[in-house]
A = this chain, B = another copy of it.
Amino acid sequence: MTDFDLLRQHVAQYVPITDVEFEQFTALFHPKKIKKKDFLLREGEICKYEAFVIKGCFRIYYSDDKGDAQILYFAVESWWATDIDSFTNQRPSLLNIEALEDSEVLVINKADKDRLYETVPKVEKMFRIMNQKSLVTFQRRVISSLGKTADKRYLEFIEKYPALEQRLSQQQLAAYLGISHEFLSKIRKKLSGK
């Protein structure tokens, strides 16, 4: 039951929720285990689940023509892993979602989520606020990816997500920052020499 505690704690951040409402909410989620290197979603598939991460780590990424990955974000404990566009519109996904560690999630499908919006109106508010917060995060990311050099973006990342840096390989981090892993290595060397 501690799995659902994490979800409850997460929900409570956004809206006050009663026991009954939380019951209705969680009733539609199912636990799922994903092994390291397995995929929750592959490019071209329709995103069946919205997944709340209980344990582990995922990369949500786009794979370009040359096969290089641009990582949109990492989802660790208490984050959601999903392709919003593919999930809400039930259309083929452009994104991949892969477990970087053995992981556990709680998933909900589209029909159940739609039901949730109808039966528990508060859920609407919760996701409105969540989307709003993510939107601000991505707006800021656009600003730094357009205007800042790679070393500044790297420093920004380790300041914002200090715990994550330990957990990720340099290759993954480089793909998030939008630089080659060789160049990230050079940046780290330069910065450590200070």
Which residues in A have some Cβ–Cβ distance to B below 8 Å? 62, 64, 68, 70, 72, 84-85, 88, 117, 121, 124-125, 127-128, 131-132, 134-136, 138-139, 141-143, 145-148, 177-178
Given known contacts A62-B147, A68-B147, A138 and B131 CB-to-CB distance under 8 angstroms = no
23 CB < 8 A contacts A-B: A62-B143, A62-B147, A64-B147, A64-B148, A70-B142, A70-B143, A70-B146, A72-B139, A72-B142, A72-B143, A84-B132, A84-B136, A124-B125, A124-B128, A128-B128, A131-B135, A135-B135, A138-B138, A138-B139, A138-B142, A145-B146, A146-B177, A146-B178
Residues of B within 8 A of A131 (CB): 128, 131-132, 135
Q: A-side binding surface: helix, strand, loop or mixed?
A: helix
How far, in angstroms, from A128 to B88 measured CA to CA in the complex? 12
Seed contacts A84-B132, A124-B125, A145-B146; 18 additional CB < 8 Å A-B pairs: A62-B147, A64-B148, A68-B147, A70-B143, A70-B147, A84-B136, A84-B139, A85-B136, A121-B124, A124-B128, A127-B128, A127-B132, A128-B131, A135-B135, A142-B145, A146-B177, A146-B178, A147-B178
